[in-house]
Structure 1
Amino acid sequence: MPKKLPHFGLVILVTAAFACAGNIIDRIVATVNGHIILESDWDEAVSYEAFVNRRPLDHLTLGDRKAALDRLIDQELIRQQIHARDFQHPSATDIDHRVAEIRMQHAAAADDLAWKAALELYGFSESELREKVAAELDEMRMVDAHLRPSVQVDTPSVEAYYREKLLPELRASGAKEVPLVDVAPKIKELLAQQKMNDLLITWLRSLRAESNIHTAFESSTTGGGGLE
Protein backbone atom coordinates (compact mmCIF):
# COMPACT_ATOMS: atom_id res chain seq x y z
CA MET A 1 0.00 0.00 0.00
CA PRO A 2 1.42 3.45 -0.89
CA LYS A 3 2.63 5.47 2.06
CA LYS A 4 0.16 8.18 3.09
CA LEU A 5 1.55 11.68 2.57
CA PRO A 6 1.47 14.16 5.49
CA HIS A 7 -1.07 16.92 4.92
CA PHE A 8 1.55 19.62 4.43
CA GLY A 9 3.50 17.49 1.99
CA LEU A 10 0.33 17.03 -0.04
CA VAL A 11 -0.21 20.79 -0.10
CA ILE A 12 3.32 21.31 -1.42
CA LEU A 13 2.75 18.75 -4.18
CA VAL A 14 -0.50 20.41 -5.20
CA THR A 15 1.23 23.78 -5.25
CA ALA A 16 4.03 22.39 -7.39
CA ALA A 17 1.52 20.84 -9.79
CA PHE A 18 -0.15 24.21 -10.38
CA ALA A 19 3.24 25.86 -10.86
CA CYS A 20 4.19 23.29 -13.47
CA ALA A 21 0.94 24.00 -15.27
CA GLY A 22 2.23 27.53 -15.90
CA ASN A 23 0.20 29.38 -13.28
CA ILE A 24 1.93 31.94 -11.05
CA ILE A 25 0.69 31.25 -7.54
CA ASP A 26 1.67 31.97 -3.96
CA ARG A 27 3.64 29.23 -2.25
CA ILE A 28 2.21 27.87 0.99
CA VAL A 29 4.77 28.15 3.79
CA ALA A 30 2.68 27.06 6.78
CA THR A 31 -0.71 25.81 7.90
CA VAL A 32 -2.19 26.46 11.33
CA ASN A 33 -5.15 24.22 12.15
CA GLY A 34 -5.97 24.23 8.45
CA HIS A 35 -5.47 27.97 7.94
CA ILE A 36 -2.94 28.67 5.19
CA ILE A 37 -0.07 31.15 5.52
CA LEU A 38 1.30 32.15 2.13
CA GLU A 39 4.80 33.18 1.17
CA SER A 40 3.50 36.68 0.38
CA ASP A 41 2.14 36.93 3.95
CA TRP A 42 5.55 35.92 5.23
CA ASP A 43 7.42 38.37 3.00
CA GLU A 44 5.16 41.22 4.11
CA ALA A 45 5.70 40.36 7.77
CA VAL A 46 9.48 40.27 7.30
CA SER A 47 9.47 43.61 5.45
CA TYR A 48 7.20 45.27 8.02
CA GLU A 49 9.31 44.16 10.97
CA ALA A 50 12.48 45.30 9.19
CA PHE A 51 10.94 48.67 8.37
CA VAL A 52 9.67 49.29 11.90
CA ASN A 53 13.04 48.29 13.37
CA ARG A 54 15.01 50.23 10.71
CA ARG A 55 16.88 47.14 9.52
CA PRO A 56 18.05 46.90 5.89
CA LEU A 57 16.37 44.00 4.12
CA ASP A 58 19.68 42.69 2.82
CA HIS A 59 20.96 42.38 6.41
CA LEU A 60 18.25 39.91 7.42
CA THR A 61 19.27 36.31 8.01
CA LEU A 62 17.37 33.08 7.50
CA GLY A 63 16.98 33.03 11.27
CA ASP A 64 15.27 36.44 11.13
CA ARG A 65 12.88 35.17 8.47
CA LYS A 66 12.08 32.01 10.43
CA ALA A 67 11.42 34.10 13.54
CA ALA A 68 8.99 36.26 11.55
CA LEU A 69 7.15 33.15 10.35
CA ASP A 70 7.03 31.91 13.92
CA ARG A 71 5.34 35.15 14.96
CA LEU A 72 2.85 34.84 12.08
CA ILE A 73 1.92 31.41 13.40
CA ASP A 74 1.47 32.81 16.91
CA GLN A 75 -0.71 35.61 15.55
CA GLU A 76 -2.94 33.12 13.74
CA LEU A 77 -3.26 30.97 16.86
CA ILE A 78 -4.41 34.03 18.81
CA ARG A 79 -6.87 35.07 16.08
CA GLN A 80 -8.42 31.61 16.16
CA GLN A 81 -9.09 31.97 19.89
CA ILE A 82 -10.57 35.46 20.04
CA HIS A 83 -13.60 36.74 18.17
CA ALA A 84 -13.53 40.21 16.65
CA ARG A 85 -16.45 41.27 18.84
CA ASP A 86 -14.43 40.62 22.00
CA PHE A 87 -12.25 43.72 21.68
CA GLN A 88 -12.37 47.27 20.34
CA HIS A 89 -10.69 47.74 16.98
CA PRO A 90 -8.27 50.67 16.57
CA SER A 91 -9.67 53.95 15.32
CA ALA A 92 -8.20 55.98 12.47
CA THR A 93 -6.67 58.24 15.13
CA ASP A 94 -5.00 55.25 16.80
CA ILE A 95 -3.52 54.21 13.46
CA ASP A 96 -2.39 57.78 12.70
CA HIS A 97 -0.60 57.93 16.04
CA ARG A 98 1.25 54.64 15.49
CA VAL A 99 2.24 55.58 11.93
CA ALA A 100 3.57 58.89 13.26
CA GLU A 101 5.64 57.01 15.85
CA ILE A 102 7.15 54.81 13.16
CA ARG A 103 7.85 57.77 10.90
CA MET A 104 9.65 59.66 13.67
CA GLN A 105 12.13 56.77 13.92
CA HIS A 106 13.17 57.18 10.29
CA ALA A 107 15.59 59.80 9.01
CA ALA A 108 13.22 60.41 6.08
CA ALA A 109 10.38 61.50 8.38
CA ALA A 110 10.62 65.22 7.63
CA ASP A 111 10.43 64.84 3.85
CA ASP A 112 7.26 63.39 2.31
CA LEU A 113 9.02 62.29 -0.87
CA ALA A 114 11.83 60.60 1.06
CA TRP A 115 9.27 58.96 3.36
CA LYS A 116 7.42 57.58 0.36
CA ALA A 117 10.69 56.32 -1.10
CA ALA A 118 11.58 54.61 2.19
CA LEU A 119 8.20 52.86 2.22
CA GLU A 120 8.62 51.73 -1.38
CA LEU A 121 12.08 50.35 -0.58
CA TYR A 122 10.38 47.90 1.79
CA GLY A 123 7.53 47.23 -0.61
CA PHE A 124 4.80 49.33 1.02
CA SER A 125 2.55 52.19 0.07
CA GLU A 126 1.18 54.51 2.77
CA SER A 127 -2.18 52.70 2.74
CA GLU A 128 -0.50 49.29 2.98
CA LEU A 129 1.54 50.47 5.95
CA ARG A 130 -1.66 51.61 7.64
CA GLU A 131 -3.17 48.16 7.05
CA LYS A 132 -0.16 46.51 8.71
CA VAL A 133 -0.34 48.95 11.62
CA ALA A 134 -4.07 48.29 12.05
CA ALA A 135 -3.41 44.53 12.13
CA GLU A 136 -0.63 45.03 14.68
CA LEU A 137 -2.89 47.10 16.94
CA ASP A 138 -5.67 44.54 16.53
CA GLU A 139 -3.34 41.79 17.73
CA MET A 140 -2.24 43.83 20.75
CA ARG A 141 -5.86 44.47 21.70
CA MET A 142 -6.80 40.83 21.24
CA VAL A 143 -4.07 39.80 23.66
CA ASP A 144 -5.02 42.55 26.09
CA ALA A 145 -8.70 41.56 26.02
CA HIS A 146 -7.85 37.94 26.77
CA LEU A 147 -5.14 38.36 29.41
CA ARG A 148 -5.75 41.61 31.28
CA PRO A 149 -8.80 40.40 33.26
CA SER A 150 -6.61 37.79 34.95
CA VAL A 151 -3.82 40.23 35.86
CA GLN A 152 -3.77 41.89 39.25
CA VAL A 153 -1.12 44.34 40.49
CA ASP A 154 -1.37 45.23 44.17
CA THR A 155 -0.17 48.36 45.94
CA PRO A 156 2.78 46.67 47.72
CA SER A 157 4.15 45.56 44.33
CA VAL A 158 3.94 49.13 43.01
CA GLU A 159 5.64 50.50 46.12
CA ALA A 160 8.38 47.86 45.93
CA TYR A 161 9.13 48.70 42.29
CA TYR A 162 9.26 52.41 43.12
CA ARG A 163 11.55 51.88 46.12
CA GLU A 164 13.82 49.15 44.78
CA LYS A 165 14.08 49.99 41.08
CA LEU A 166 12.86 53.43 40.05
CA LEU A 167 14.41 55.50 42.84
CA PRO A 168 17.87 53.85 42.53
CA GLU A 169 17.81 54.45 38.76
CA LEU A 170 16.87 58.11 39.21
CA ARG A 171 19.59 58.63 41.79
CA ALA A 172 22.21 56.88 39.66
CA SER A 173 21.40 59.10 36.69
CA GLY A 174 21.32 62.28 38.75
CA ALA A 175 17.68 62.89 37.84
CA LYS A 176 15.23 64.54 40.19
CA GLU A 177 13.23 62.15 42.34
CA VAL A 178 9.49 62.06 41.73
CA PRO A 179 6.79 61.29 44.31
CA LEU A 180 5.26 57.82 44.23
CA VAL A 181 1.79 59.26 43.72
CA ASP A 182 2.90 60.83 40.43
CA VAL A 183 4.27 57.63 38.91
CA ALA A 184 2.16 54.92 40.56
CA PRO A 185 -0.26 54.54 37.59
CA LYS A 186 2.65 54.11 35.14
CA ILE A 187 4.38 51.61 37.43
CA LYS A 188 1.16 49.65 37.81
CA GLU A 189 0.71 49.46 34.04
CA LEU A 190 4.35 48.45 33.55
CA LEU A 191 3.99 45.60 36.04
CA ALA A 192 0.71 44.55 34.43
CA GLN A 193 2.41 44.42 31.02
CA GLN A 194 5.22 42.29 32.43
CA LYS A 195 2.70 39.85 33.88
CA MET A 196 0.78 39.72 30.60
CA ASN A 197 4.00 38.99 28.70
CA ASP A 198 4.64 36.02 30.98
CA LEU A 199 1.04 34.82 30.57
CA LEU A 200 1.26 35.24 26.80
CA ILE A 201 4.33 33.00 26.58
CA THR A 202 2.56 30.30 28.59
CA TRP A 203 -0.66 30.67 26.59
CA LEU A 204 1.11 30.39 23.23
CA ARG A 205 3.00 27.29 24.36
CA SER A 206 -0.32 25.72 25.31
CA LEU A 207 -1.95 26.69 22.01
CA ARG A 208 0.96 25.26 20.02
CA ALA A 209 0.83 21.99 21.96
CA GLU A 210 -2.89 21.65 21.18
CA SER A 211 -2.68 22.72 17.53
CA ASN A 212 -1.92 21.12 14.19
CA ILE A 213 0.91 23.22 12.74
CA HIS A 214 2.99 22.51 9.64
CA THR A 215 5.71 24.65 8.08
CA ALA A 216 7.87 24.50 4.99
CA PHE A 217 10.80 23.74 7.29
CA GLU A 218 9.30 20.58 8.74
CA SER A 219 6.50 18.18 7.87
CA SER A 220 5.82 16.76 11.33
CA THR A 221 2.10 16.35 12.02
CA THR A 222 2.45 16.51 15.78
CA GLY A 223 1.09 19.37 17.83
CA GLY A 224 3.36 22.32 18.43
CA GLY A 225 5.04 21.93 15.06
CA GLY A 226 6.19 25.51 14.85
CA LEU A 227 9.69 26.65 14.09
CA GLU A 228 12.35 25.74 16.56
Structure 2
Amino acid sequence: MVQRGTKKLPFGVIPEKLVVFLFFVTWTAFGQLLDRVVANVNGEPILESEIKVAQVFYGIKDRKQLIQLLVQKHLVAQFLHEKGLNIPESYIESVIQDIAKSNGKTIDALYRELYENGLSPSDLKALIRVELASTLGLKEYLMSKVNVTDLEIELERLKRGDIEYLKEIELLVIGKDNKEKLLSLMEKYGTDMDKLANELGEKVEKLKVKKGELVAALDNELWKTKVGDIAVAEDQEHIYLARVVREVKLISGRSEEDIKEELTTKKLKEKEDELIKELRRKSLVEIYG
Protein backbone atom coordinates (compact mmCIF):
# COMPACT_ATOMS: atom_id res chain seq x y z
CA MET A 1 0.00 0.00 0.00
CA VAL A 2 0.93 3.65 -0.22
CA GLN A 3 0.70 5.79 2.87
CA ARG A 4 0.48 9.46 3.71
CA GLY A 5 1.81 9.53 7.23
CA THR A 6 -0.24 6.78 8.86
CA LYS A 7 -3.08 6.91 6.34
CA LYS A 8 -3.43 3.83 4.13
CA LEU A 9 -4.51 4.26 0.56
CA PRO A 10 -7.41 2.21 -0.86
CA PHE A 11 -5.32 -0.04 -3.09
CA GLY A 12 -5.46 -3.71 -2.18
CA VAL A 13 -4.54 -5.22 -5.55
CA ILE A 14 -0.94 -5.75 -6.47
CA PRO A 15 -0.34 -4.83 -10.13
CA GLU A 16 -0.21 -8.03 -12.16
CA LYS A 17 2.98 -7.03 -13.91
CA LEU A 18 4.74 -6.65 -10.57
CA VAL A 19 3.73 -10.16 -9.59
CA VAL A 20 4.77 -12.03 -12.71
CA PHE A 21 7.52 -9.99 -14.32
CA LEU A 22 10.33 -12.35 -13.30
CA PHE A 23 8.71 -15.39 -14.86
CA PHE A 24 10.36 -15.05 -18.26
CA VAL A 25 13.69 -13.70 -17.06
CA THR A 26 16.99 -15.16 -18.18
CA TRP A 27 19.15 -13.60 -15.53
CA THR A 28 22.36 -15.08 -16.88
CA ALA A 29 22.18 -12.63 -19.76
CA PHE A 30 23.18 -9.87 -17.33
CA GLY A 31 26.36 -11.38 -15.98
CA GLN A 32 28.03 -9.72 -13.02
CA LEU A 33 27.29 -6.00 -12.78
CA LEU A 34 29.62 -3.24 -11.73
CA ASP A 35 27.09 -0.73 -10.39
CA ARG A 36 27.46 2.85 -11.54
CA VAL A 37 25.38 5.99 -11.76
CA VAL A 38 23.73 6.35 -15.17
CA ALA A 39 21.51 9.35 -14.40
CA ASN A 40 20.85 11.90 -11.69
CA VAL A 41 17.37 13.21 -10.88
CA ASN A 42 17.47 16.21 -8.53
CA GLY A 43 20.46 14.68 -6.78
CA GLU A 44 18.99 11.16 -6.63
CA PRO A 45 21.02 8.64 -8.64
CA ILE A 46 19.65 6.05 -11.04
CA LEU A 47 22.04 3.10 -10.96
CA GLU A 48 23.02 0.54 -13.55
CA SER A 49 21.43 -2.16 -11.40
CA GLU A 50 18.08 -0.37 -11.58
CA ILE A 51 18.40 -0.21 -15.37
CA LYS A 52 18.91 -3.98 -15.53
CA VAL A 53 15.95 -4.80 -13.29
CA ALA A 54 13.78 -2.27 -15.15
CA GLN A 55 14.81 -3.78 -18.48
CA VAL A 56 13.20 -7.03 -17.40
CA PHE A 57 10.17 -5.44 -15.80
CA TYR A 58 9.21 -3.05 -18.60
CA GLY A 59 10.40 -5.23 -21.47
CA ILE A 60 12.24 -2.28 -23.03
CA LYS A 61 15.55 -3.00 -24.74
CA ASP A 62 16.29 0.53 -25.92
CA ARG A 63 18.56 1.92 -23.20
CA LYS A 64 17.85 5.61 -23.88
CA GLN A 65 14.11 5.01 -23.81
CA LEU A 66 14.42 3.05 -20.57
CA ILE A 67 16.47 5.76 -18.87
CA GLN A 68 13.93 8.42 -19.87
CA LEU A 69 11.13 6.28 -18.45
CA LEU A 70 12.95 5.83 -15.14
CA VAL A 71 13.72 9.54 -14.97
CA GLN A 72 10.00 10.25 -15.36
CA LYS A 73 9.06 7.73 -12.67
CA HIS A 74 11.67 9.10 -10.27
CA LEU A 75 10.38 12.64 -10.81
CA VAL A 76 6.85 11.53 -9.91
CA ALA A 77 8.02 9.48 -6.90
CA GLN A 78 10.02 12.44 -5.59
CA PHE A 79 7.08 14.79 -6.03
CA LEU A 80 4.72 12.47 -4.15
CA HIS A 81 7.29 11.92 -1.41
CA GLU A 82 7.36 15.70 -0.89
CA LYS A 83 3.57 15.56 -0.62
CA GLY A 84 3.88 13.03 2.21
CA LEU A 85 3.21 9.82 0.28
CA ASN A 86 5.49 6.88 0.98
CA ILE A 87 5.49 3.17 0.23
CA PRO A 88 5.64 1.12 3.46
CA GLU A 89 8.42 -1.45 3.55
CA SER A 90 5.90 -4.08 4.62
CA TYR A 91 3.92 -3.60 1.41
CA ILE A 92 7.04 -3.87 -0.73
CA GLU A 93 7.90 -7.11 1.08
CA SER A 94 4.42 -8.47 0.38
CA VAL A 95 4.82 -7.65 -3.32
CA ILE A 96 8.15 -9.50 -3.41
CA GLN A 97 6.53 -12.50 -1.72
CA ASP A 98 3.88 -12.57 -4.43
CA ILE A 99 6.54 -12.27 -7.13
CA ALA A 100 8.39 -15.24 -5.68
CA LYS A 101 5.21 -17.28 -5.23
CA SER A 102 3.98 -16.62 -8.77
CA ASN A 103 7.31 -17.89 -10.09
CA GLY A 104 7.29 -21.00 -7.90
CA LYS A 105 10.18 -19.81 -5.72
CA THR A 106 10.84 -19.00 -2.11
CA ILE A 107 12.01 -15.55 -1.11
CA ASP A 108 15.48 -16.95 -0.42
CA ALA A 109 15.64 -18.59 -3.86
CA LEU A 110 14.61 -15.34 -5.52
CA TYR A 111 17.25 -13.39 -3.62
CA ARG A 112 19.92 -15.97 -4.51
CA GLU A 113 19.11 -15.46 -8.20
CA LEU A 114 19.51 -11.74 -7.75
CA TYR A 115 22.90 -12.15 -6.06
CA GLU A 116 24.09 -14.61 -8.70
CA ASN A 117 23.39 -12.01 -11.38
CA GLY A 118 25.09 -9.10 -9.69
CA LEU A 119 21.89 -7.67 -8.22
CA SER A 120 20.54 -7.44 -4.71
CA PRO A 121 17.16 -7.42 -2.95
CA SER A 122 17.64 -3.68 -2.49
CA ASP A 123 17.78 -3.24 -6.27
CA LEU A 124 14.45 -5.02 -6.67
CA LYS A 125 12.87 -3.12 -3.78
CA ALA A 126 14.04 0.20 -5.19
CA LEU A 127 12.34 -0.43 -8.51
CA ILE A 128 9.13 -1.66 -6.86
CA ARG A 129 9.06 1.40 -4.61
CA VAL A 130 9.41 3.81 -7.53
CA GLU A 131 6.93 1.87 -9.68
CA LEU A 132 4.22 1.80 -7.01
CA ALA A 133 4.68 5.47 -6.19
CA SER A 134 4.50 6.50 -9.86
CA THR A 135 1.40 4.39 -10.55
CA LEU A 136 -0.84 3.75 -7.53
CA GLY A 137 0.44 6.75 -5.60
CA LEU A 138 0.06 9.06 -8.57
CA LYS A 139 -3.43 7.79 -9.30
CA GLU A 140 -4.57 8.50 -5.76
CA TYR A 141 -3.07 11.97 -5.83
CA LEU A 142 -4.65 12.86 -9.17
CA MET A 143 -8.06 11.31 -8.40
CA SER A 144 -8.70 14.11 -5.92
CA LYS A 145 -8.25 16.59 -8.76
CA VAL A 146 -10.49 14.87 -11.31
CA ASN A 147 -14.27 15.00 -11.46
CA VAL A 148 -16.64 13.77 -14.17
CA THR A 149 -20.03 15.49 -14.14
CA ASP A 150 -23.39 14.15 -15.28
CA LEU A 151 -23.36 16.80 -18.02
CA GLU A 152 -20.05 15.49 -19.37
CA ILE A 153 -21.44 11.96 -19.45
CA GLU A 154 -24.54 13.21 -21.28
CA LEU A 155 -22.44 15.13 -23.83
CA GLU A 156 -20.24 12.10 -24.42
CA ARG A 157 -23.31 9.97 -25.11
CA LEU A 158 -24.67 12.57 -27.51
CA LYS A 159 -21.33 12.81 -29.29
CA ARG A 160 -21.25 9.05 -29.79
CA GLY A 161 -24.91 8.82 -30.78
CA ASP A 162 -25.85 6.88 -27.64
CA ILE A 163 -28.78 9.21 -26.90
CA GLU A 164 -31.83 9.91 -29.02
CA TYR A 165 -34.84 12.02 -28.14
CA LEU A 166 -38.45 11.33 -29.10
CA LYS A 167 -41.34 13.71 -28.78
CA GLU A 168 -44.83 12.39 -28.21
CA ILE A 169 -47.15 14.83 -29.96
CA GLU A 170 -50.78 15.45 -30.82
CA LEU A 171 -50.84 16.64 -34.41
CA LEU A 172 -53.59 18.45 -36.29
CA VAL A 173 -53.08 19.10 -40.01
CA ILE A 174 -55.37 21.60 -41.75
CA GLY A 175 -55.52 22.54 -45.43
CA LYS A 176 -54.46 26.11 -46.24
CA ASP A 177 -57.90 26.78 -47.73
CA ASN A 178 -59.31 26.50 -44.18
CA LYS A 179 -56.92 29.04 -42.69
CA GLU A 180 -59.52 31.76 -42.10
CA LYS A 181 -61.94 29.27 -40.57
CA LEU A 182 -59.17 27.96 -38.30
CA LEU A 183 -58.34 31.44 -37.06
CA SER A 184 -62.00 32.09 -36.34
CA LEU A 185 -62.38 28.82 -34.44
CA MET A 186 -59.23 29.52 -32.42
CA GLU A 187 -60.83 32.75 -31.23
CA LYS A 188 -63.70 30.63 -29.92
CA TYR A 189 -61.92 27.47 -28.67
CA GLY A 190 -58.36 28.66 -28.21
CA THR A 191 -55.95 25.76 -28.72
CA ASP A 192 -58.38 22.98 -27.81
CA MET A 193 -57.25 20.71 -30.63
CA ASP A 194 -60.07 18.18 -30.26
CA LYS A 195 -62.73 20.89 -30.71
CA LEU A 196 -60.82 22.47 -33.57
CA ALA A 197 -60.48 19.12 -35.31
CA ASN A 198 -64.16 18.32 -34.81
CA GLU A 199 -65.29 21.63 -36.30
CA LEU A 200 -62.92 21.26 -39.24
CA GLY A 201 -63.75 17.61 -39.90
CA GLU A 202 -60.19 16.50 -39.17
CA LYS A 203 -58.61 14.07 -36.70
CA VAL A 204 -55.92 14.65 -34.12
CA GLU A 205 -53.10 12.16 -34.63
CA LYS A 206 -50.94 10.92 -31.78
CA LEU A 207 -47.36 10.31 -32.88
CA LYS A 208 -43.88 9.60 -31.54
CA VAL A 209 -41.31 11.34 -33.70
CA LYS A 210 -37.55 11.83 -33.83
CA LYS A 211 -35.88 14.99 -35.03
CA GLY A 212 -35.98 15.17 -38.81
CA GLU A 213 -38.98 12.87 -39.32
CA LEU A 214 -41.60 15.58 -39.93
CA VAL A 215 -41.88 18.11 -42.74
CA ALA A 216 -39.17 20.73 -42.41
CA ALA A 217 -41.41 23.64 -41.45
CA LEU A 218 -43.00 21.75 -38.56
CA ASP A 219 -39.84 19.92 -37.52
CA ASN A 220 -37.96 23.19 -37.04
CA GLU A 221 -40.65 24.61 -34.77
CA LEU A 222 -41.42 21.40 -32.90
CA TRP A 223 -37.89 20.95 -31.52
CA LYS A 224 -37.99 24.46 -30.09
CA THR A 225 -41.25 23.77 -28.28
CA LYS A 226 -41.47 22.76 -24.62
CA VAL A 227 -43.67 20.03 -23.18
CA GLY A 228 -47.28 21.26 -22.93
CA ASP A 229 -46.85 23.98 -25.56
CA ILE A 230 -48.02 23.96 -29.18
CA ALA A 231 -45.82 24.31 -32.23
CA VAL A 232 -47.47 26.14 -35.13
CA ALA A 233 -46.07 25.93 -38.65
CA GLU A 234 -47.22 26.08 -42.25
CA ASP A 235 -46.01 25.35 -45.75
CA GLN A 236 -47.55 25.92 -49.16
CA GLU A 237 -50.35 23.39 -48.64
CA HIS A 238 -50.97 22.89 -44.91
CA ILE A 239 -51.09 24.45 -41.48
CA TYR A 240 -49.76 22.31 -38.62
CA LEU A 241 -50.60 22.41 -34.93
CA ALA A 242 -48.54 20.05 -32.77
CA ARG A 243 -48.85 19.86 -29.00
CA VAL A 244 -45.84 18.33 -27.24
CA VAL A 245 -47.24 15.80 -24.77
CA ARG A 246 -43.90 14.58 -23.45
CA GLU A 247 -40.28 14.09 -24.36
CA VAL A 248 -38.61 10.68 -24.16
CA LYS A 249 -34.87 10.07 -23.90
CA LEU A 250 -33.63 6.80 -25.40
CA ILE A 251 -30.24 5.58 -24.20
CA SER A 252 -28.24 2.86 -25.91
CA GLY A 253 -24.60 1.77 -25.96
CA ARG A 254 -22.35 1.80 -22.91
CA SER A 255 -23.40 2.12 -19.30
CA GLU A 256 -22.95 5.31 -17.32
CA GLU A 257 -20.23 3.61 -15.26
CA ASP A 258 -18.25 2.68 -18.39
CA ILE A 259 -18.44 6.21 -19.78
CA LYS A 260 -17.47 7.72 -16.45
CA GLU A 261 -14.50 5.38 -16.17
CA GLU A 262 -13.37 6.25 -19.70
CA LEU A 263 -13.65 10.00 -19.09
CA THR A 264 -11.90 9.67 -15.73
CA THR A 265 -9.02 7.76 -17.34
CA LYS A 266 -8.72 10.43 -20.03
CA LYS A 267 -8.67 13.23 -17.46
CA LEU A 268 -6.14 11.39 -15.30
CA LYS A 269 -3.83 11.01 -18.31
CA GLU A 270 -4.15 14.72 -19.12
CA LYS A 271 -3.37 15.65 -15.50
CA GLU A 272 -0.44 13.23 -15.44
CA ASP A 273 1.01 14.70 -18.64
CA GLU A 274 0.65 18.22 -17.25
CA LEU A 275 2.33 17.25 -13.99
CA ILE A 276 5.24 15.46 -15.65
CA LYS A 277 5.80 18.39 -18.02
CA GLU A 278 5.91 20.76 -15.05
CA LEU A 279 8.22 18.48 -13.05
CA ARG A 280 10.65 18.19 -15.96
CA ARG A 281 10.65 21.97 -16.36
CA LYS A 282 11.50 22.58 -12.70
CA SER A 283 13.92 19.68 -12.16
CA LEU A 284 17.62 19.12 -12.68
CA VAL A 285 18.19 15.91 -14.63
CA GLU A 286 21.59 14.67 -15.76
CA ILE A 287 22.06 11.58 -17.91
CA TYR A 288 25.49 9.99 -18.12
CA GLY A 289 24.65 7.12 -20.48
Q: Which has the larger radius of gyration?
A: 2
Instruction: Give the structure with the larger helix fraction.
Output: 1
Instruction: Give the structure with the larger strand fraction.
Output: 2
Q: Using structure 2 for the length normalisation, give the TM-score.
A: 0.41
Q: Using structure 1 for the length normalisation, give the TM-score.
A: 0.50
